[in-house]
Amino acid sequence: MDFAWTEQETAFRDRLRALLADTLPDDWERFSQHGPASPALTKYAESFCGTLAEQGLLIPHWPVELGGQGLDPWHQTILAEEMWIAGEPRGGQYMNVNWIGPTLIRYGSPDQQARYLPPIAEGKALWCQGFSEPGSGSDLASLRTRAERDGDTYRVNGQKIWTSYAGLADTCFLVCRTSDDRKRGISILLVPMDTPGITVRQIPSLIGEGDIHEVFFDDVTVPVTARLGDEGQAWEIIGYSLTNERLGIPRYALARAALDRAVAVLKEQGEFDGEAVKIEAAHAAALTEAARMASYAIVDRRAKGEAIGAESSSARFATVMAERRVCEFIVEYLPEALADAHPYLKMHHQRGIVAGIAAGAAEIQLNIIATDVLKLPREPR
């Protein structure tokens, strides 16, 4: 076993840090309090992603023939960590490069790849993911948004909810029902958001402006060629996407950075003094590092080309534990962080509190760990 970074990996991280230091505006920390989906950050992300693309740092983990450099999952992890620690200046585009792009690379038709991959690679696209519905959250397979086949087109009717980025996205990765067969009756359509019949309403939220939306589909006509993969193949494709997304956000890294920042402020104020505050901070650090190692163990296996299963749920829940403890530490010992005093910490809090909900609720991860890692017998139905 070797727990050290290679020289090449360290150099890659240094390069990213230097680029962030040179590129981000002086008031970035205050600015990045706006959620990653806010209009302000989305606009900034366009120019930032353009810069990354010019430097070969937007899609370095993509295959060479598609404009990437074929860098391994360790580099992908370093990139994701540095961006997330910085407050994700790529805005919603992180999703494009982490999993929309890779999913299109794996399942897209040549036409779809030709249409959608270049704008992603240039930092000019913004996608939203239409999975959840009012009646279908954790139970995604119960979704009801319907795509009726009509010759060469589908007619889509239904509603999505909690859709991040929908207000500004140009394309929706839409999951909808093409038959009544629960999991096998679901298909994916790639739908331009300016298609007639789509209405978006923003939902005011705790976590910042522009983050979550309702999206209504009223007789939206989509050509059959917009379908990703086969009819009924969505469940398999989503599984592939979500595995990428779940590892895509290295939340432990920002949690640790926020914890370090909070401790630095407390020290400066002469308040990192008693035993209680030190014990709490150390507990939080133990959890961020446990989550980091659980994630690295999976990155390592990915780097070696091994299949990843339920262990990713374990890493994900470790991250939820870490986020929770760091958020709680800061609320308790540095409450002014949630007012105006420390924008970086406020930014962390708003992103941290959804760790156990967004991209699949934590209790579902626990069910997966219980069933597939521990092999516990299932609850009788």
Partner 1 sequence: MDLALTDDQVAILDAIDTLTRPYAGASLHEAGFSLPDAQLDRDLAEGGFLDIGFDPDLGAVSAALVVERLARLPQTVEAAASALIRPLLGDDLPRPLCLVEEGRTTRPVRFLREGATVLIVGPSSVSAFTATAAQVRAEPEALYGYPMATLLDVPTDRTPHAIPADEVLTRWRIALAAEAAGLLAAALDSTVAHVTDRQQFGRPLATFQALRHRLAEAQVRANGVRWLALKAAATLGPGDAALAALHAQESARATVYDFHQFFGAMGVTLEHPLHLWTYRLKALIGDLRGRGGQALAAAEALWG
Q: Which residues bind partner 1 (CB under 8 A)?
A: 132, 135-139, 142, 161-162, 203-207, 212, 269, 274-277, 279-280, 324, 328, 331-336, 338-341, 346, 349-350, 353-354, 356-358, 361-363, 366-367, 379
CB closer to partner 1, 61 vs 349: 349
Residue closer to ligand FAD, measured from CB, 57 or 320: 320
Q: Compute the distance between CA of residue 214 and CA of residue 222 in angstroms, rounded to an integer.
A: 20
Q: What is the DSSP string of 282-332?
A: HHHHHHHHHHHHHHHHHHHHHHTT----THHHHHHHHHHHHHHHHHHHHHH
Number of residue whose CB is nearest ligand FAD? 137
Burial 285-324 (b: 16+ CB within 10 A, else e): bebbebbbebbbebbebbeeeeeeeebbbbbbbbbbbbbb
Q: How many C-beta atoms lie closer than 10 Å to residue 284's C-beta?
A: 26
Helix (H) or strand (E) holding 343: helix 343-352
Name the minimum Å distance from CB 69 to partner 1.
36
Least distance CB 314 / partner 1 (angstroms): 16
Give least dist CB 145 to partner 1, A.
17
Through-space distance between the first and last CA atoms of the chain, rounded to whole angstroms: 44
Residue 324 interaction partner, one of ligand FAD, partner 1, none, beta carbon < 5-8 Å per kind: partner 1
Out of ligand FAD, partner 1, none, what residue 77 binds, judged by CB under 5 to 8 A for its kind, is none
Complex with ligand FAD: residue 53 or 172, whichever CB lies closer: 172
Q: What does 360 interact with, of ligand FAD, partner 1, none (CB < 5 to 8 A by kind)? A: ligand FAD
Whole-number Å distance between alpha carbons of 194 and 222: 11
**Cα distance between residue 296 and residue 131, in whole Å:** 28
Return the structure tokens found at 13.
């991280």
Distance in Å, CB of 201 to partner 1, minimum: 11
Angle at which helix 275-303 crosses helix 234-248, to 10 degrees, equals 130
Cβ nearer to ligand FAD, comparing 25 with 39? 39
Locate 366 and state its tokens.
């626990």
Distance of alpha carbon 214 from alpha carbon 19, whole angstroms:
36
The helix (H) or strand (E) run that includes residue 352 is: helix 343-352
Least gap, CB of 90 to ligand FAD (angstroms): 16
Beta carbon of residue 206, minimum distance to partner 1 (angstroms, whole number): 5
Provide the binding-site residues for ligand FAD, judged by CB under 6 A: 128-132, 137-138, 162-164, 207, 211-212, 354, 357-361, 363-364, 367
Taking CB within 5 to 8 Å according to partner kind, which of ligand FAD, partner 1, none is near residue 276? partner 1
Task: Please identify, using beta-carbon distances, which residue of 47 and 142 lies nearer to partner 1.
Answer: 142
Closest separation in Å from C-beta 144 to ligand FAD? 14
